[in-house]
Structure 1
Amino acid sequence: MYGKNRYDKIFAVYLQKILYETRTKGVIMAKEIYLAGGCYWGVQHYLDGLKGVKETTVGFANGRKDLPDPTYEQVRGGDTGYTETVKVVYDPSVLPLRALLRLFYQIIDPTLVDRQGADVGHNYRTGVYAADEFDLPDIYASLIELQNQTQGKVAVEWGMLQNFYPAGEAHQKYLEKNPAGYCHVPVGKMQWIRTVDPKDYSDPFGAGLRSSSAIFLGSSVTYGAASGGIAFPEFLCMNDGLITIKEAVSGTTLVDNGPDSYIARMKKIYREFPADVFVCQLSTNDATRKLPLADIRSALETILAFARDTFHCPVVFYTNPRFDSKEYAAMVDCLTQLVEEANKDGSGLPVYILDFWNNEVFSKLSQQTLKAWMADPIHPTMAGYQGWWTPVFGAFLEGVVKKGASK
């Protein structure tokens, strides 16, 4: 980290990391995740060969609530809403969720809709369904990472598990009982998975950012107002080796209305810093102070132009998760329009939005989870930065930096 008290902050992040790992290591010996990857016979047989998987069950997930416990024939032949799914019980100390998901993606075509292999229908759609809300950030980050590696749009459904019913006994461990039975997963993959060490797939999301550099401009959320001044830039520095400048002051606005505004502080950033990406928070303070939308738009344009002209790198704006503010909703719409226009201006420097505001899954988190991750509707806790914001930012920024480096 560049900037004031950088060594103290890195040490504080390191202590938080040790405490977090000490609290979690060896405590949770089994977790559940539900994976839909086409015909469940092959998916189950593949996952059964993976070190750290303790138990699997095939069944049907996330279907119509008025049709509990459907039969195989009903799901295959009707409009039930269910998809063939494998319930996976795994040991996270051996097989972290991020490794499990990366290895699951090895056997699906994530761009296909309602189809895998020779199997066609809504019951063969791909999906990742969490039994624990605290797994949602890793799922989302894994799909961002997958999109970064995939040509075409990733169509994997994700979110919380709504319901799951085991299939009949004849379908459980089907390929063990019928070795010559139908399977859309290649034999080579079945053999390969038995040789895999999950540690080789367990890097944190954003590990590819090592030695890359980023500038973060923002207010209280970027600063870490509810976590002692430690936020996702510090965790990205500690976990992923990202070199950063963090220019963040709580209570400040995009609109240039004083010496601490975004624009005023932006102009003081070291201009020779070799930034690979410039990240700007869409401040909530402009909304709470009800500043004119035209002035906010002008400030965003100024920040975007300065970042492009000075640092010659991609720009990422990020929004807050939903809170009760029609003014902020209007700001998000304004930003979306600006980014669309900027990406058509021929500059060659892309602009992105990491949009928490319009993320439907995160907008439906339970109050219990929000209490752990958010100190209030706007400000994340230390746990929120570590468990939610950092993996998502890591995966997202890694994709932005890699795209920039490939040009």
Structure 2
Amino acid sequence: MSLHLADGTFVAASPAALGVYGVAPEALLGRRLQDLVAPEDRADAEVALGEARRSSDAISFVVRLQGDGGSPRRIEIVAHAEGGAAGESRLCCTARDASTAARAAAEQVQLSSRADEMGRRLDRLIASVPGVVWEIWFVDDPSRQRVSFVSERALALSGYTPDEWLSEPDFWAKITHPDDRPAADASGTLAATGSASAQSRWTTKDGRLVWVETQMRALRNDDGSLAGYCGVTMDITASKQAEQEQARLREEIIQSQARLLAELSTPLIPLSDGVIAMPLVGSIDSARAERVVETLLQGISSSGARTAILDITGVPTVDTQVADALLKAARGVQLLGAEVVLTGIRPEVAQTLVTLGVELTGIVTRGTLQDGIRYAVSAARPWPGRRSDPTGSSGPAALRR
């Protein structure tokens, strides 16, 4: 920077003058600016300085300096008039290397072009994301949030335009289902870890409920405190519906398998008019014991059977629980006016029943299923109300034989 009299004479110059004019600041004092300019540009310099003295605006012009045998350097001068002593007008000039200015201008153009291209590239990337890209900043604290950016896909997913999203704080909470708001607000997790994921339901403008999944990252202040967050929200309604359908089908399969297993664990086989059989295979727990009694009583009630054969050949262990189940089944059958024939009692099972003190009075017993069937279908079989059979094979006496 330099200060000149009206005729262009230097009266002051800053240290930077050496780098621009190639002359020390003190050596410039008393010299005219025009004398430093190449002869072919002096007329233009005079005109520009005269215009600067008359104008209230700054005047910019480019001239070449006199060379020292090399090519002249071009400098850009910006001059404006200011009042001096006794009303004498002075010129304040700022000069810089024009080639540097040209390079700076070119770099500025290049940077601006790059910024435009980056902006277009970012727009293309955002448009290619199959979800809503957004950015939220806190208004005062994390309890109040304002959407600062939302992509155009917000309209397709929520029914609300980007302008509506930007219109009020906490807009996301307005469209989030009330039950899902605590889970959707991930500010605590974001503050701790810097990222978070949440699933929630949005209520669209036309009243539909859509499932969305949001991936978020924290935005921080210079001091590291949480200032907001940005992220992408995807529509997962179709996958949620598929999960729910799969869960429903899985539950149906489980229930169907449970019913099938229940039927297989307590099979009821009609043998002839008035005779049904239930062969039991495998261990009997409390749940299965209940099914045995229930299935047996229902079978007698629906078929009108007079005799029910319970075969325990395939039951590996007979303990108190199994014995109680058998007794309960027998009492229930007797209350329905029928009788129970217990078959498949192996020696070790008989010993266990005696040791446990199980009272089988009123229950006909046979060693094998075949013997039980013969007994049940025998024309000589007494009416079920009688508590003994022609052979006397019932109750503890049968076990002792």
TM-score normalised by length of structure 1? 0.23
Between the two structures, name the one with larger relative contact order (CA 8 Å, sep ≥ 6): 1
Q: Report the TM-score when normalising by structure 2.
A: 0.23
